[in-house]
Amino acid sequence: MTERSPEPDRPAAVGIPALRDPARLRSLADTGLDAAPDEAFDRFARLVGDLLEAPVALVSLVGADRQFFPGAVGLPEPWAGRRETPLDRSFCQHVVDIAIPMVLPDARLHPRVRRNLAIPELGLVAYAGVPLTDLDGRVLGALCAIDHRPRAWTAPQLRTLADLAAACSSELRLRIALDGAEEARRRAEEAHNRLELLHGLTETLAGTLDVDTAVRRLADAVVPLLADWALVTLVDRAGKPRRATGVHRDPSRAAEVARFAHLVTTRLDPDSVIRRVLRTGQPVLGGADDAGRDVGEPELGALAARLGFAAHLTVPVPAPGAGVIGSISLVGGPDRRPFDERDLRTAVEVGRRAGQAVGNIWMYGEQRHVAEVLQHSMLPRLPEHPAVELAARYQPVADRVEVGGDWYDAFVQPDGDLMMAIGDVAGHDIEAAATMGQLRNLVRGNAFGRTDPVHEQMSRLDATIAGLRIPTAATATLARLSRTPGGLAVTWCNAGHPPPLLVTADGAVHNLDGRHEPLLGLTRPFPRSSRTVLLDEGDTLLLYTDGLVERRDRPIDETLAELVDRLAGSSKLPLDDLCDLLLHSPHPREDDVALLAVRAR
């Protein structure tokens, strides 16, 4: 067995490059061992102590700045409880350096170690240490025997120590292999989770048409899977941060991460990482040293440190046709491994999918705004009439961008009568809206200045639609309110439309159903008819489109009966409040709603 003493007068830790070899340190970390008792390695220490009759025996693993003992017997306190020492109390570091056994009958006589604090504090006088190695021959530490007095180690004792060191090295290699298998399993699970994240992200973000909700869902999706905390930032049209949402894996840090997000939109330094990513569209991967520099604002740096800032990764959020509309910042705390290329690829894909979703939401919002402006521009301003109060509402379906065919109208005739109309053109597209505009204008053109009955006007409307070959199928109700000796009379004609409702001043509700007549625009002529009802003071007539009562899962007779029940006792409500009551529904609307209410004064 080869053995040697250390070279004299060589500095300890700073002069041993092997201690800081990255491959050796990775292998040491892969053992999964630390300064804590391990039964297998304690057994090796006991065997060394018994077989070599040594008062102290250690399985010593040497890091870059300390040695620790997963196996130990005979250590004095406080080291027995700590299970580790600094390198200024380490002889085993020299075994790592020379990579062969080191045998010292009396350490006090050797210049290299005679000033080592292990001599007075651990009582180390005689020392015999054999390297512990991984499969690639890297020395991770030593299996050593220690005596408190000078000692001549015998050849049989050193052979025993070498045999035990070989077995101890095998155990270390097994731990490394098991850790490698566990790491492979962990990486496979992590890869699976990331694939699931990407697979579900598009669906998650597509489930809302609200930008704030989408951004919050995005932040929740990446924490804690990809980061300990995250920040999603969106820009305004000038490219400056205008909204930011932060999420931390620790709910108790919600206020701090919200403050951080607010400062990002108001005090972010122009040279910060987020601004750089927004400007260049290129991702940035950084470490803890970037915390202060990358945010600029001192409070941001302090907040980042409190939230945990050991590594960060910021990627762009690109929207098709709109450039970079935001960024996603992933931040890892000190206990999370540094970000790597796998994290970068995942984050870039998250940003790409987020950009598609948010871009679609923005585009939807713009289109919906245009559609609503167009729709409302086609609806008239209600006239003033001395005999009645009027109110109207139009409510589009909340989750649809198309303009629809629902409409209402009211205008005063030259003789003072009030004409009222409501209708619904089939379809939810720009053609339906255009046809709706034509139909409303036809009703006005056919009815204004005429005194003939409303059913004749409706028949003339049928003929006009057919004669002009307007391709439409529509429902409509046309009504005329006149003063008569008996009071206010409303005469109406219904072409396939839901029947009017009458809410009397005493709170009773009447469904003014009558003869069911076909839709407008049918090719075969059909004789129209009309009905009349008298309104007393406080009576309310309601005209509405079928979106108010239509539901896929219920017959319309049931939903109409529910509407009648809701109106019961509502006669004292102000007319605007009554309209709002009708539009409020616990169920999502499946169609647009138009509503015209008339109350006798």
Q: Tens digit of pLDDT for each residue in 550-568?
A: 887 788 888 888 888 888 8
* pLDDT, average across residues 188-206: 75
Q: Tens digit of pLDDT for each residue in 491-543?
A: 999 998 999 999 999 989 998 987 778 888 776 778 889 999 999 999 999 99
Structure tokens at 210: 């609200």
With left for phi above 0 and alpha for psi between -120 and 50, is residue 115 left, alpha or beta?
alpha
Domains of the chain: 13-179 (3.30.450.40), 207-361 (3.30.450.40), 378-600 (3.60.40.10)
* pLDDT, average across residues 477-486: 92
In the predicted model, is pLDDT for residue 447 greater than 90?
Answer: no
Q: What is the mean pLDDT of the chain?
A: 86
In the predicted model, is pLDDT for residue 6 greater than 70?
Answer: no
Pairing mode of beta strands 388-395, 241-248: unpaired
Q: Tens digit of pLDDT for each residue in 206-223?
A: 777 788 888 889 899 899
Closest CA to 65 of 50, 86, 91, 47: 86
pLDDT higher at 2 or 243: 243
Model confidence at 53, in pLDDT bands (50, 70, 90)? very high
Highest mean pLDDT among 53-62, 195-204, 325-334, 443-452: 53-62
pTM given for the model: 0.48
Cis bond upstream, residue 414 (ω within 30): no
Residue 19's pLDDT is what?
93
Closest CA to 228 of 205, 207, 247, 252: 247
Closest CA to 260 of 250, 270, 247, 273: 247
Q: Which helix (H) or strand (E) holds 315?
A: strand 311-319
Residues 6 or more apart whose Cβ sits within 8 Å of residue 421: 408, 409, 410, 440, 443, 447, 476, 477, 478, 479
In the predicted model, is pLDDT for residue 434 greater than 80?
Answer: no
**Crossing angle, helix 254-266 and helix 298-307, to 10 degrees?**
150
Q: Tens digit of pLDDT for each residue in 271-318?
A: 888 999 999 999 999 865 554 454 556 888 889 889 998 899 999 999
